[in-house]
Structure 1
Amino acid sequence: MKLESLALHCGYESEPTTKAATTPIYQTTSYTFDDTQHGADLFDLKVAGNIYTRIMNPTNAVLEARVAAMEGGIGGLAVASGMSAITYAIQCIAAAGDNIVSTSQLYGGTYNLFAHSFPRQGIEVRMASADDYDKLESLIDDNTKALFCESIGNPAGNIVDLEKLAAIAHKHGVVLIVDNTVATPFLCKPFELGADIVVHSLTKYIGGHGTTVGGMIVDSGKFDWVANKARYPMLNEPDPSYHNVVYTEALGAAAYIGRCRVVPLRNTGSALAPHSSFLIMQGLETLGIRMERHCENALAVAKHLQQHPKVTWVNYGALENSPYYALSKKITSGHASGILSFGIQGGKEAGAQFIDALQMILRLVNIGDAKSLACHPATTTHRQLNADELKSAGVSEDLVRISVGIEHIEDILADINQALDKVK
C-alpha cells in the first residue's frame, strides 16, 4: 500500500471479540500469562506477546507498525516524547566513554541534550555544520557510536544530504540516525537514502493537532551489527541485565529496536500512554493531505515575505534562490515542509513587535500543528544556548520562525501583513 493507505490500515484488523473498526484503547497495565512457562518465554524473548504496558501495549503496537511501515523499517518503538526517542536511540548503543558525532543545526532541546546532558553521563557529542563533510568525518573515531542529523533542521531550515552522511558513517562502520520530524515520511524516506535509524517527535506533524506528546524510534533492520561487533558489543555479547540474552542471536535484524525496548525503555520508563497513541493515530490518518497543504501554504508565505519591504531575509528550502533548493529536489521531494524563518528590519526588537501583533497565528513553541504558530527561538526554544551555540545551531537573534498551518492562505497572509504593518 502507498503511504496514505498505510496510515489508515497498517497494523490492525478488526479484532475478533468486538469487531471494532478503529484500534481500541487497551487501557491496562498488565497482561495475563497462560502459565509459568509462558511468562518465562515472554521474558526470554522466545515468544511474541505482551508483558507490561511500560514495555509494550496493543494500541501502541499499531502505531509502531504504521510509522515503521511508512518509513520502510523493520520495527518501531513508541515512547513518551520526541526527546525520549532521541535519548533512547543513542543510549541503546552508547555508554560512558563513547561518543557520537552530530550536525550542529538542531532543535534547541536536542542541542542542549547533546551539549550538556550526555556529557554529564560520559557520552561525548562532537558537532560540526551539516555541510562540512570533511569535519564531520574527522570527528569519527573508534569510540563513535552514531552519526546524527535532522533531515530538515529546526529552526535553521537546512536540508541535509543524507546520502553523503550515510556514506561517511558506513565507511567507518557507524550507524546514521536521522530525526525525520520536520520532513515526515511523506517528504523524505531516510532509509532509501542510506540511513539506519529514524526518530520522530510524534507531537509535531504526525499528531498534527497540538493535543498529544509522543516520540518514535524506527529501525531499518539493514545495519549489520554482527559485522561491526567490535563497535557494538552491547548487541553482540550476553546482556547481564536481561538474562544474558544476545540480541543479534535472539532478534536478528531487529536486535537494535528490541534492545531499545527492553533496556532503556524498560529500565527508565518513558512509556507512551495508549490513549496518547490513539490520539496520535487520528492525526496520522490525515498526515498526507495536511503535508500537501502545509507545503503549499509555506511556499506561498515564503514568496510573499521575500517581496515585503520590511523583511531582510527569508530561509525556506523550496525557494529557488535558497542554498538548499537543489537538496530539496534530491532529499525532500522538492518540498521543505511547513516551517520557515525570516528576519525583519530592526532585528530582535522588530521580531518581537511582529510576534506580539499577530492576531490569528498563535504565539507558542510547538511546530507541525494544523494551526499556524510563531515564535522567537533565541528567547524560547534555544534560550539556554550561548551566543556561540546559537550561531552553531543556525539561530540568529533576529530569527522569527513560523510553522505555517493549513488555514486558508489569504487569512495567513492577512495576519502576517497586519503584524508587519505594526512593526516600527
Structure 2
Amino acid sequence: MDNQTKAIDTPFGRRDAYGALSMPVYHTAAYEFDTAADMADAFTGRVLAPDYSRVMNPTVTFLEDKVRNITNAHAVVAMSSGMAAISATMLALSAQGKNIVTSRHMFGNSFSLITSSLPRFGVEARTCDLLDLEAVERNVDDNTCCIFLEIITNPQLEVADLSALAAIAHRHGIPLVADTTVIPFTQFSSHALGVDIEIVSSTKYLSGGATSLGGLVICYDTVKEFANRMKNEMLFNFGAYMTPHVAYMQSLGLETLDARYRVQAANSLELARRLKSVDGISHVGYVGLEDNPFHELAARQFGPTAGAMITIDLADRQACYRFIDSLKLVRRATNLFDNKTLAIHPASTIFGNFTDAERAAMDVLDTTVRISVGLESVSDIYEDIRQAASAR
C-alpha cells in the first residue's frame, strides 16, 4: 500500500462508537475499567489499553499507528516537541560514563543538550567530522552509546553517508540515531540506510502549517529494548507525551503532507536556481542543486527531492539584517517547513547564545540567512527575496 494511502486510511485501533471518519480527540486524563483485573492488565502492559493519558491516549496512539504503518517501524512514541524527542532518546540510550559520538554541525539546542546538559550527568560528548569515517572510528569505543546526526544539518546543509556510519555503529553494537526532520519519512526509508532510531520534529512538515508542537521517536526492530525503555521509563518517569489535540491536528497534517511537501520541494529547487543569479547573494546553499557537493549522496539516500530549507550568503551581518528587514512577503520568523516562507539569521538567533569561537567551530556564519520555503507562488517568493537583496 502506498504511503499516501496509509497516511489517510490507517484504521482506528477500535471502532468509534459513532462511526467518526476522523479520530476523535480524547481529551481525558483517565479511563474507567470494568474490573480491578482489567485495570491491572492495562497498567502492567499485559493488554494494550489506555490507562492514563500521560503515557497512552487513543488519539495519540492513532497518530503513532499511522507513522508506524508508513515507516514499518517496531514502535513509535509521540512526544511534546522535537527537543523532547531528542532528549528522551539520549536519556534512554545513555548513562553515567557513556559517550555520544556526534558532529558540531547541528541545530543549536540539540548541540547544547549533548555538549552542555548531558555532561552534567556524566555523559561525554565526542564531536568529530562525520564525513571522516576514520575519525568516527577513532572516537567510538566500548563506552559509546550511539552515533547521532542530522541527515541534512541545520543550517550548514552537510550530508553524511548514513550507510557507512551505520556500518561503524553496528560493528560496535550501538545504534545509529538520526534526526530526519528535513526530509519527510514518507519520502525515503531511513531504516533501509541503517538508521536504528529516527527522530522527527513533527512541528515541521507534519503539523501542516505550524499549527502545533510535537516530536516523534521512531524505533526500528533492531532496538526493541530501547522501544520498551521509551514507553516504560521515559514516559512513565519523565513525561513529555504528546497531547491529544496536537495528535489530532498532526494526524490531519499527515494526510496532506505528501501534497504539501511536493510543492515546497519543487518551490525550493526552482527558487535556489533563480537566486544564484541575484546581485548581492554570494552563495546559495541547497543540496538539490546539481553543483552542490552533497547533491549526489543526498539523491542516492533521500530520492529526487531535497527538502525545503535553503541558505543564502550576503556580505556581512549588517547586510543580512538589512535583507531581513526589507522582506515584504517572506516572514521574519523561526521554525521550518511552515506553509508560509520564513527567513532567519541563525548566527544571531538560534545560535545567538554561543560565543564567536563556538559559532566558528560549528561553521555558523554571520553572512548566512536561512530560508524555509513555503507554498506561495515561487515567483512571488523570488521577487521578494530579489528586492530585499538589493535594498541599501
TM-score range, shorter chain: over 0.9
Report Cα offsets for 1:206-249 as digits up to 9, x if no partner: 113111000110111124xxxxxxxxxxxxxxxxxxxxxxxxxx
Alpha-carbon distance in 2 for matches of 1:384, 1:68: 37
Structure 1 match to 2:289 = 319
Structure 2 match to 1:332 = 302
Structure 1 match to 2:230 = 260
Structure 1 match to 2:120 = 120
SS in 2 for 1:185: coil
Amino acid at match of 2:184: T
Report Cα offsets for 1:74-97 as digits up to 9, x if no partner: 110001000010011121121122
Select the residue among 275, 283, 291 that pairs with 2:253.
283
Deviation at 1:331, TM superposition (A): 0.9
- TM-score, length-scaled by structure 2: 0.97
Alpha-carbon distance in 2 for matches of 1:90, 1:58: 26
Alpha-carbon distance in 2 for matches of 1:412, 1:27: 39
The structure-2 alpha-carbon separation of the partners of 1:173 and 1:57, relative to structure 1 and needing over 3 Å to count, comes to same
Q: Does 1:94 align with 2:94?
A: yes
Report Cα offsets for 1:40-91 as digits up to 9, x if no partner: 2223222211110000100000111112222221110001000010011121
Structure 1 match to 2:199 = 199
Alpha-carbon distance in 2 for matches of 1:163, 1:315: 24
SS in 2 for 1:181: coil
SS in 1 for 2:88: helix
Pairs within 5 Å for 1:104-253: 104-223=104-223
Alpha-carbon distance in 1 for matches of 2:385, 2:321: 13
The structure-2 alpha-carbon separation of the partners of 1:391 and 1:69, relative to structure 1 and needing over 3 Å to count, comes to farther
Alpha-carbon distance in 1 for matches of 2:251, 2:103: 30
Report Cα offsets for 1:280-311 as digits up to 9, x if no partner: 11211111111111111111111112111211
SS in 1 for 2:125: strand
Alpha-carbon distance in 2 for matches of 1:16, 1:355: 49
Amino acid at match of 1:418: Q
Deviation at 1:319, TM superposition (A): 0.6
CA contact (8 A) 1:377 1:383 kept: yes
Pairs within 5 Å for 1:264-413: 264-344=234-314, 346-413=315-382
SS in 1 for 2:282: strand
Alpha-carbon distance in 1 for matches of 2:226, 2:386: 49
Structure 1: runs of 5+ lacking an equivalent:
224-253
Alpha-carbon distance in 1 for matches of 2:363, 2:174: 26
CA contact (8 A) 2:279 2:390 kept: no
Structure 2 match to 1:20 = 20
SS in 2 for 1:286: helix
Deviation at 1:36, TM superposition (A): 1.9
Structure 2 match to 1:229 = none
Alpha-carbon distance in 2 for matches of 1:13, 1:35: 21
Amino acid at match of 2:353: Q
| Segments of 4+ moved more than 4 angstroms | none
Pairwise CA RMSD: 1.4
Alpha-carbon distance in 2 for matches of 1:266, 1:304: 50
CA contact (8 A) 1:99 1:124 kept: yes
CA contact (8 A) 2:351 2:359 kept: yes
CA contact (8 A) 1:104 1:130 kept: no
Structure 2 match to 1:42 = 42
Deviation at 1:13, TM superposition (A): 6.7
CA contact (8 A) 2:299 2:306 kept: no
Q: Does 1:414 align with 2:374?
A: no
Alpha-carbon distance in 1 for matches of 2:102, 2:69: 26
Alpha-carbon distance in 1 for matches of 2:141, 2:12: 43
Alpha-carbon distance in 2 for matches of 1:162, 1:185: 15
CA contact (8 A) 1:88 1:264 kept: yes
SS in 2 for 1:311: coil
Report Cα offsets for 1:310-368 as digits up to 9, x if no partner: 11111110111101011122111032200011101x21110110011111111111001
SS in 1 for 2:28: coil
Alpha-carbon distance in 2 for matches of 1:300, 1:38: 57
Alpha-carbon distance in 2 for matches of 1:2, 1:273: 28
Structure 2 match to 1:240 = none
Alpha-carbon distance in 2 for matches of 1:16, 1:318: 44
- TM-score, length-scaled by structure 1: 0.89
CA contact (8 A) 2:275 2:382 kept: no
